Structure 1
Amino acid sequence: MAAIRQRNGRYQAQVRLRGTPAITKTFDTRDLASRWATQTELDIKGGVAAAPQTDAVTLNALINRYVTEITPHKKACEQEKWRLRRLKKDPISSYSLANLSSQCLRDFKARRIKDGNRTCHYDLTLIGHIIEVARKEWGYRIEFNPVRNVKKPTLNPPRTRRLGEQEFLKLESAVKHTDVEYLWPLVNLAIATAMRKSELLNLKWEDVSLDNRTIYIPDSKNGSPRTIPISSYAIEVLEGMHQRDGSKVFPTTSSAAFQSWRRLVIRAGIEGL
């Protein structure tokens, strides 16, 4: 039997049949609630297993499952874990799936866009994918992904900012006041090779050949391995580091490296870098 109640300007439909758990979902209109209730009753009577109740599941719960089952299989695993931890701290994560509306996400967009268009765009895309995984793979009865009704911010062109000579000297001076051992070699090797951050942080000593003056990158952004020549400057940076066979050249995570870099830039008094 289905029941529809009006609560806080919205309509909550509940389907309760003997021998099955109650299933509840909230809608903007009575018509949508009624149609959903009718279809749900037909599904249950037809032997379709009841989906998890969306009223009882929050976005935070989905994030916890996503970070365990989906994120570890991505290339930028550590970076995404950091992004998900930040999402969990935002009020958006406390909403149940039934109450996670497009307007809630627009409010989230207004908060997050203060951190930049790119950050906001990535976070909305990530929330959208979490909901799609819940719909298509985890069996949640979510008829519509509310992220689709939220216009994502336009992505700005890639940054072309170059480090000036005086800025380099400021960084060199500021790094003397940090105890992060790997930071300055990481900065210098990035300058010397123009390697991507993910490539540098995944670099292992076994992929560095000082004799051949090359670095082997087994998993580049386009999915194909490549070998790059390195300059005498890069050789000098690498020779000055403590090598450990089979280990990473820079034993840190993407989020830790980013935070160390931001602190260094602030300490050096450099803007827009």
Structure 2
Amino acid sequence: MLRVYLTAFMALAGAGSMVTEALADGRLEARYRLSLGGLELGRAALLIEVDDSSYIASGSARLTGVVRAISTGKGTAGARGAISRGTLAPRSFAMEAETDKKSEAIRLVMNASGVTDMRVEPPVFPSADRVPVADKDKKGIFDPMTAALFLVPGSDEPVSARACERTLAIFDGRQRYDLVLSFERIDHVKAPKGYAGPAVVCRIAYRPVSGHKPNRSGVKYMMKNKEMYVWLAPVAGTRMLVPFRASVTTAIGIAQLEAEAFETQELAGARSRPTKAGMP
């Protein structure tokens, strides 16, 4: 169960794209509330620092509220990479998650050719009902954490329809899938602490490629789900957008991730190396 919540936080609306000019240094510290049908399920935190040549992102999440009476759980994730020739170039990704029943860990090492090394615990064993992950599925991909960073090309306002014009190829160590984004509208958002201003809303479509079990009802439901959205807000001093809010309609209610704090600032001079984002 925890893995579903972590995926919602780190990969529900992730992306990376081309930029045509250098970025100033920028930093974001955000805290999120995860709910289902209005009931709190978890809390998450995100820390990002970016300049014109590299980025570092880290996050953490834990179960809270009513679900904690059924299952305890927490997790952390992090990624780093370069900004090379105007594109995000992921270099490493790590995730650890732990519940009262099991724990798991994923490590990916990447270069321009794709995934060069990986470790997944517990391992994924081949089965007749699972689409195998081929070598080609590990090329030209983003990890889930890098996939939460949107760089918008050009010199116009980043909060625009252009931010949604992309198909995202994501590999999380177990599954390879595409998220197809399309422009919905521009909204105004306001965090209880931090950012208040415009956000671009993108509709999301889920397209599994490999590593999934096609006959599972959950996979079929997500493929048909037309009510998945992400709200993207800017990181000061950059052309980067990051999820402020995300929502998915499920069979038992709307699952929503929303920022309770979204504090962003332009950095001057050399940046520090962030540690893992602290928990609320």
Give TM-score scaled by structure 1 length: 0.21
Bigger share in helix: 1
Bigger share in strand: 2
Which of 1 and 2 has higher RCO (CA within 8 Å, sep 6+)? 2
